[in-house]
Amino acid sequence: MALPKLNVPRYKMKLPSDGRSVNYRPFLVKEEKLLLMATELGGQEELITAIKDIITACTDIKDVEKLATFDIEYLFLNIRAKSVGENVQVNITCPDDEETQVPVSIFLDDIKVVKNRKHKKELKISDNVVVTMSYPTLNDFVAMNFQDTTPDVDDVFKMAASCIQSIADENQIYDCADIPNEEIVEFFNDMNSKQFAMIQGFFDTMPKLSHTLTVTNPETGVESEVVLEGLSAFFA
């Protein structure tokens, strides 16, 4: 005799990047096991596959690879909240002595994607050249949140190069999907500091998960404001 089927609740949310409505449900045990196994293996390819499979299974999104990093973070946050609880416990290092840790409970609904008004995707880096940027995707999300090692300068340049959508001058628009990553890195190397600062500014002002809280150091009595950013800050 077949065992009864368990009803799984469904929820709706809007993607921060484009306001698209998404249906989603909590993790099931089988999907949480997928993520745990991939994390234990530690390989980037396994993690990317697991995250893609989980988001595909838990939402009605079909183009997971094309999602912006902050969309993936926001999806994970909401799926996690509905799966294992609306609060997350984090240890905050007090800024005044950079040593004492204070345990804090954060209500996940209070964590929002913050957008910067100065942020723009089209960057006019000279009188006749405009660079159009795209957001980091699933591979970059894994590198930023699940890898043990800190990316080196070459890795950062390669990631930035992969986010160049197009380069336009007065004669032509160059689709960077057709241009080798090495050529775009060389394009970066030929920039002056002010021009490359504009590329960096795109990433610095990009929408991101953020939450501001106040902690009091029990050793010194000093009260400090702390800003947590990115998914890894909440689920380290």
pLDDT digits (tens, 9 = 90+) for 163-190: 999 999 999 999 998 899 899 999 999 9
3-state helix, strand, coil in the chain (%, to 5): 40, 25, 35
Burial class (CB in 10 A: 0-12, 13-18, 19+), 234: buried
| Residue 233 confidence (pLDDT) | 78
| Residue 188 confidence (pLDDT) | 92
Burial class (CB in 10 A: 0-12, 13-18, 19+), 109: exposed
Whether residue 150 has pLDDT greater than 70: no
Q: What is the pLDDT of residues 189-226, one digit of tens each?
A: 999 999 999 999 999 899 988 999 999 999 999 999 99
Q: What is the pLDDT of residues 38-76, one digit of tens each?
A: 777 766 677 777 878 888 899 999 888 888 888 988 998
| Residue 39 confidence (pLDDT) | 72
CA distance 184 to 187: 5
């100065």: which residue's tokens? 118
Q: Which two tokens stand for residue 225?
A: 């404001």
| Residue 3 confidence (pLDDT) | 80
* Backbone dihedral region for residue 230 (phi beyond 0: left; psi -120 to 50: alpha; all else: beta): left
Q: How many CB atoms lie within 10 A of CB 59?
A: 20
Q: What is the pLDDT of residues 73-88, one digit of tens each?
A: 899 888 888 887 888 8
Whether residue 236 has pLDDT greater than 60: no
Report strand pairing: 87-93 vs 101-107. Answer: antiparallel
Question: What DSSP character marks residue 86?
Answer: S
Whether residue 148 has pLDDT greater than 70: no
3-class SS string, 206-219: CCEEEEEEEEECCC
Domain spans, the chain:
10-85, 86-111+208-236, 116-204
**CB of 162 closer than 8 Å to CB of 152:** no
What's the mean pLDDT when you consider all of the chain? 87
Whether residue 232 has pLDDT greater than 70: yes
Number of helices (H), then strands (E), belonging to the chain: the values are 8, 11
CA distance 160 to 71: 18
| Residue 141 confidence (pLDDT) | 65
| Residue 169 confidence (pLDDT) | 93
Sign of CA dihedral 54, 211, 136, 45: negative
CA distance 25 to 57: 9
Confidence of residue 147 (pLDDT cuts 50, 70, 90): low
| Residue 183 confidence (pLDDT) | 94
Whether residue 120 has pLDDT greater than 90: yes
| Residue 11 confidence (pLDDT) | 93
